[in-house]
A and B are shown apart, each in its own frame.
Chain A
Amino acid sequence: MKHVANWALNIAALRGASYADVRVVAQRSRALTTKNGKVGSASDAESVGMSVRVIADGAWGFASSSELGRGAVEATAALAVEIARASSRVKREDVRLAPEKAAVAEWSTPYKIDPFSVSVEQNIELLLKIDAELRSVSGITLAETNLNFNREEQWFVSSEGADIHQTKLSTGAGYAAYAFAGNEIQKRSYPNSYGGQWQNKGYELIEELKLVENARRIADEAVALHQADQCPEGKFDIILDSSQLGLQIHESVGHPIELDRVLGMEANFAGTSFLSIDKLRKLRYGSEMVNVVADARQEHGPGLGTFGFDDEGVAAQCTPIITNGLFTGYLSSRETAHTIGESRSGGTLRAEGWNRLPMIRMTNISLLPGEKPLSLEQLIASADHGILMQTNRSWSIDDKRYNFQFGCEIGWEIKNGKRARMVKNPSYSGITTEFWNSLDAICSRDEWTLWGTPNCGKGQPQQVMGTGHGAAPSRFHGIKVGTAFKS
């Protein structure tokens, strides 16, 4: 594929581009679902194409094509330059890129079992077995399961000499049980809601998740929620399980630290951020226990934000975002690094596919676990009165990322260190920095999970991206609970 990229680079240079990079991408995916004892959907997809990103007359241009013949590739490169020249009609200053040593490298996701090598029959059998377990519980009215496998191979070359071949693999799986009765629909999901758990791994993830083993419990809980009391309303200490906390991190830390949002580039769609640049290294984001990193390196784990290089050829890095509660870093790119006084990009520019412009995306934005040994059960045992909330059901936050409200699938009222009763429709709300400053306990490494969020939307045209979020169950003091259901 390198020759395809070189055709584009040559034309971009001939047409006067001062910088160009080319990505040739081949994506393959498989999606299998079941619903109430039947296969819901079964599909394979592949998509191949290339894109050219250029700077000409000091402005950006981008064009892409699914045609990889020489004529189409050269026309696409020429169009990118034409578009850049049009962009330059409405510019204030020239684009400048932070310097980056041109990498020549191969990188691929480590895995044990290629998910595409596992037969479809075996996968459907697994899903139907889970489905049967879920529906064996009286009161379950709808059971849904899913398996997803993705492979992306990318060749990246730039006019600066970068030449990177990278292959990423991801696997996802999950299921949900619904119970409809009276005027109420209750739902439980495993291992997480909205598609389950996703990681940059092979089929070994499916084997680790213990999907079948947990199905009966999940279905029992969905039915039991109908008999549970409504979650009380008021101010409580709350304990969030690691999957809900992963989404809390995503919405109230991951998005506000995107430097393009901070600089106003997302103002019309995804919004801006309360984290103006003057707050860097000054704002007390959270309590002293809060340490958050943006870590795309393999050693952080197999998150959906793990890679060798981002989509402008910058190597994966770990950036401290919150250090002992102090706000210390943003997600940046080669174009934006200088705005925060950095001489190098943080390496976070990614694109959904060959036909999309790379933009700043979360990598793995993770809350580091507590250093002292603390299990979830020990955390519960230490609480006089509080609410444990598990598995996200709804999520919403304002366009500057201050005010949020989350609903969870299930809650447990804790009294005197014990789970006193199940409660339904738990929800909580707050203001981002007040919330993170109320954190007073984090479970330790053995409770820490690197969750995958496969459906993060951003940009125009909107791009969907996978992000990673490591978290261990944590406790927050004096949080507003139940406002969503207050009459």
Chain B
Amino acid sequence: MLTQEQAGDIFDRIKKLSTADEVEVLFSGGKFALTRFANNVVHQNVAEENHVVSVRAAFGGKTARAFTNKFDDESLRQVVRSAESLARVQYADPDLLPMPDAREAAGKAGGNTRASETASRHFAATASITPESRAEGVKKIVGVAQRHKLSTAGVFSSAESIDGIFNTRGLTRWHTQTMAEISITMLGTDSSGWQKANSPYVANLDALALAEVAAQKAADSAHPREIPAEKYTVILEPAAVLDMVGFMFWDYSGMAILDQRSFLNGRIGTKLFGDNISIWDDVAHPLQTGSPFDGEGMRRQRVGLVENGVVKRVVYARATAERMKRSEYKDKVGPVEATGHGFPLPNEMGEMPLNIVFAPVGDPQSVDQMIASTERGVLVTRLWYIREVEPFEKMLTGMTRDGTFYVENGRVQGGVRNFRFNESLIHMLSNVEAMSVPVRSCGEESLDMVVPAMKVKDFNFTEVTKF
């Protein structure tokens, strides 16, 4: 693993090679290993180690970036040359700011945001996972499958990673993290069940418990029957909520407002969702992960995006905040300030909140309680292949997958064939009748978040598939 000291040495070598007015160097990478299984056997088992350095050169308002994964003198000379030659031929960008120094990057406290401190997210127990220990974990999962007379497929992965940034104005930020992940699908002849979890600390993962839940879902959804596609009350487990709501957070960006590509254009300060919806971006939340600084090294602030259904504000990279202050929208978008959510420069997307946390409600309900209070509805484990059909009402389409159940008279009545939905996120988040305690959740189509299960009325299923 690349250490901060080694990275500092590489930065010093790059500084000496560069003729730019300012230089910023990002470091990323680490070790990653993954054991993949299917049909109750391991069929892929991989490991890699890689570190990437990217150099941003700035000459006045001109900037560009180049990447390499080689740190010898000639490779560093080449990557500096590439960044500088790309930068020199740019047109000067009047919006480009000088790189932040350490004081600016530390951010400020108070107002609607507060500086966040994150606990260590690096655990030796996760970093030291071996191929043998992953194989042992898979063996346990396969054992559950065999006991239930099912076939299982999934992954057990582990990673140790670094993120670092240095610039010639004296800024240095460094973050290390570990991550372990288990994802399990259990397959019967005509049904399936799924569970997935990840954590920086491998001891937080219980492979057997995940396998048992996935297996039970496969067993309980066997012999699915077809019920008509129409509007139903749905109980969306956290992974299903996550993959749906993840599609709107690209729009909680100052740049998206300036570009007029956000569904929040003209809607900030208005009540868009139900009273029970409050959403934060908070990298320091104990169930969140990731680095506490953004692509320019700015400290990620805790930002309240939605309060009781009212969209309060969006996040900003430094340059976007300055542009917004000069724009026609400046008085209509809530607080405008750099919040530490920018992507590495140069980029065309600006910024995005990456550490979403749904606020808990005063009367949380478990999924079992939601089922018990449902006269007629559908319980959804997971959603799949979600895409945006219409951007301003945030109309999404996608499929249910790996455990879809019919609920009647407060009880699960068995599995049903999977549905296609066409549903507006605005409509969905305005129709949430109950929520569970938010949990760390991971899916396949959105970033990991802290989200609750939700009971939603009038969820629009439009078609049924063949299984």
Give CA–CA (A398, B203) in the complex, Å: 34
Given A48-B69, A399-B385, A483-B422, answer yes or no on A91-B465 (Cβ-Cβ < 8 Å). no
Residue of B nearest to A121 (CB): B89
Query: Could you tell me how many residues of chain A have their Cβ less than 8 Å away from some Cβ of chain B?
Result: 83
Task: Indicate the size class of the contact surface on chain B.
Answer: 35 or more
The reply to whether B135 and A87 form a contact with Cβ atoms under 8 Å apart is yes
Give CA–CA (A61, B135) in the complex, Å: 12
Among candidates A36, A90, A180, residue contacting B135 with C-beta atoms closer than 8 Å: A90
Give CA–CA (A263, B187) in the complex, Å: 12
Among candidates A45, A80, A183, residue contacting B66 with C-beta atoms closer than 8 Å: A45
Give CA–CA (A280, B405) in the complex, Å: 32
Residue of B nearest to A274 (CB): B466
Given A357-B44, A396-B397, answer yes or no on A402-B466 (Cβ-Cβ < 8 Å). yes
Give CA–CA (A117, B45) in the complex, Å: 40
Contact with A along B57-77 (1 / 0, CB 8 A): 000000011111110000000
Give CA–CA (A427, B51) in the complex, Å: 43
Given A86-B134, A483-B462, answer yes or no on A398-B34 (Cβ-Cβ < 8 Å). no
Contact with A along B329-366 (1 / 0, CB 8 A): 00000000000000000111000000000000000000
- With an 8 A cutoff between CB atoms, is A271 at the interface? yes
- With an 8 A cutoff between CB atoms, is B50 at the interface? yes
Tell me which of B34, B46, B68 has the highest count of chain A C-beta atoms within 10 A of its own C-beta: B46
Residues of chain A contacted by B65 (CB below 8 angstroms):
41-44
The reply to whether A403 and B261 form a contact with Cβ atoms under 8 Å apart is no
Among candidates A66, A178, A274, A357, residue contacting B50 with C-beta atoms closer than 8 Å: A66
Give CA–CA (A46, B74) in the complex, Å: 13
Contact with A along B143-178 (1 / 0, CB 8 A): 000000001011101000000000000000000000
The reply to whether B346 and A427 form a contact with Cβ atoms under 8 Å apart is no
**Closest approach, in angstroms, between the C-beta of A123 and any C-beta of chain B?**
9
The reply to whether B399 and A399 form a contact with Cβ atoms under 8 Å apart is yes
Contact with A along B88-113 (1 / 0, CB 8 A): 01110100000000000000000000
A310-334 contacts to B, CB under 8 A, are: none
The reply to whether B44 and A90 form a contact with Cβ atoms under 8 Å apart is no
Contact with B along A242-267 (1 / 0, CB 8 A): 00000000000000000000011111
Residue of A nearest to B38 (CB): A265
Give CA–CA (A323, B79) in the complex, Å: 50
The reply to whether A65 and B39 form a contact with Cβ atoms under 8 Å apart is no
The reply to whether A84 and B66 form a contact with Cβ atoms under 8 Å apart is no
Tell me which of A80, A86, A407 has the highest count of chain B C-beta atoms within 10 A of its own C-beta: A86
The reply to whether B135 and A86 form a contact with Cβ atoms under 8 Å apart is yes
**Closest approach, in angstroms, between the C-beta of B249 and any C-beta of chain A?**
17
Residue of A nearest to B136 (CB): A89
The reply to whether B348 and A35 form a contact with Cβ atoms under 8 Å apart is yes
The reply to whether B44 and A49 form a contact with Cβ atoms under 8 Å apart is no
Given A264-B153, A265-B38, A268-B153, answer yes or no on A396-B348 (Cβ-Cβ < 8 Å). no
Residues of chain A contacted by B52 (CB below 8 angstroms):
47
**Closest approach, in angstroms, between the C-beta of B144 and any C-beta of chain A?**
13
A395-417 contacts to B, CB under 8 A, are: 395-400, 402-403, 405, 407
- With an 8 A cutoff between CB atoms, is A142 at the interface? yes
- With an 8 A cutoff between CB atoms, is B420 at the interface? yes
**Closest approach, in angstroms, between the C-beta of B60 and any C-beta of chain A?**
14
Give CA–CA (A39, B90) in the complex, Å: 7
Among candidates A91, A185, A405, residue contacting B41 with C-beta atoms closer than 8 Å: A91
- With an 8 A cutoff between CB atoms, is B142 at the interface? yes
The reply to whether B34 and A460 form a contact with Cβ atoms under 8 Å apart is yes
Among candidates A42, A87, A121, residue contacting B35 with C-beta atoms closer than 8 Å: A87
- With an 8 A cutoff between CB atoms, is B21 at the interface? no
**Closest approach, in angstroms, between the C-beta of B263 and any C-beta of chain A?**
8
- Interface residue ranges, B against A (CB under 8 Å): 32-52, 54, 64-70, 78-79, 82-83, 85-87, 89-91, 93, 130-132, 134-136, 138-139, 142, 151, 153-155, 157, 183-185, 187, 192, 194, 259-261, 265, 346-348, 384-393, 395, 397-399, 401-402, 418, 420, 422, 444, 462-467
* 14 A-B pairs in the complex with CB atoms less than 8 angstroms apart: A36-B259, A41-B348, A62-B47, A64-B48, A66-B49, A87-B35, A90-B138, A124-B90, A265-B38, A356-B46, A396-B399, A398-B465, A402-B466, A461-B32
